């Protein structure tokens, strides 16, 4: 998380990954008008990120938003409304673009066609130091046509 206006009002679930994102729990503009008009108002809200959520780079999350569970917020999105469970959102403002379960099915099909799929299937965890050099070689060869870079 890059920045949070008040971490006390942010709740993070389990199994989440956050890129360089900004979480805004306060609406700072209220202070300008409090001063200008002699008011004593407050505009603050919570941000609730449920389990199994990915938040991409450059995301901005505004107050009073709940994300997920099982959701993806695409890079650069501005989240001003709740993100339903099992939903991928993107854009400014963030809008639903896909369902997570449908995306996973597409990923499975793409994965089966990768020349390194059998190596990934042998991994123990996210990275396996014994497999990574060969995995990199196969990826470079697939992407660029040779592995002598």
19: domain CATH number is 2.160.10.10
Same domain, 94 and 118: no
**Residues 6 or more apart in contact with residue 48 via CB below 8 angstroms:** 10, 11, 65, 66, 67
pLDDT in 10s for each residue of the chain, 149 residues = 666 568 899 999 999 999 999 999 988 899 999 999 999 999 899 999 999 999 999 999 999 999 999 999 999 999 999 999 999 999 999 999 999 999 999 999 999 999 999 988 888 778 888 889 999 999 999 999 975 65
Same domain, 16 and 87: yes
Is 43 among the domain residues?
yes
Same domain, 8 and 69: yes
C-alpha 111/C-alpha 83 separation (Å) is 27
Same domain, 77 and 126: no
C-alpha 56/C-alpha 75 separation (Å) is 4
Q: Which residues of 6-24 are buried (b: 16+ CB within 10 A; e: fewer)?
A: eeebbebeeebebeebebb
Same domain, 64 and 135: no
Is 42 among the domain residues?
yes
**Residues 6 or more apart in contact with residue 88 via CB below 8 angstroms:** 71, 72, 74, 96, 97, 98, 99, 100, 103
Full domain range(s) for residue 23: 3-99
C-alpha 119/C-alpha 5 separation (Å) is 43
Same domain, 130 and 90: no
Is 109 among the domain residues?
no
Question: pTM for the full model?
Answer: 0.86
Same domain, 70 and 32: yes
End-to-end CA distance of the chain: 34
Same domain, 56 and 14: yes
Is 14 among the domain residues?
yes
């Amino acid at each position: 998380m890059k920045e949070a206006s008040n971490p006390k009002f942010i709740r993070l679930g389990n199994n989440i990954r956050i890129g360089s994102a900004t979480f805004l729990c306060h609406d700072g503009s209220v202070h300008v008008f409090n001063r200008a008009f002699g008011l004593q108002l407050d505009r603050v809200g919570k941000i609730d990120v449920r389990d199994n959520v990915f938040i991409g780079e450059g995301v901005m999350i505004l107050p009073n938003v709940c994300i997920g569970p099982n959701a993806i917020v695409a890079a650069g999105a501005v989240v001003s409304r709740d993100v339903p469970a099992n939903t991928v959102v993107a854009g400014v403002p963030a809008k639903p673009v896909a369902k997570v379960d449908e995306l996973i099915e597409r990923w499975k099909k793409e994965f089966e066609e990768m020349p390194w799929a059998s190596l990934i299937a042998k991994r123990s965890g996210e990275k396996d130091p014994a497999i990574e050099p060969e995995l990199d070689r196969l990826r470079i060869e697939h992407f660029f046509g040779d592995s002598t870079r």
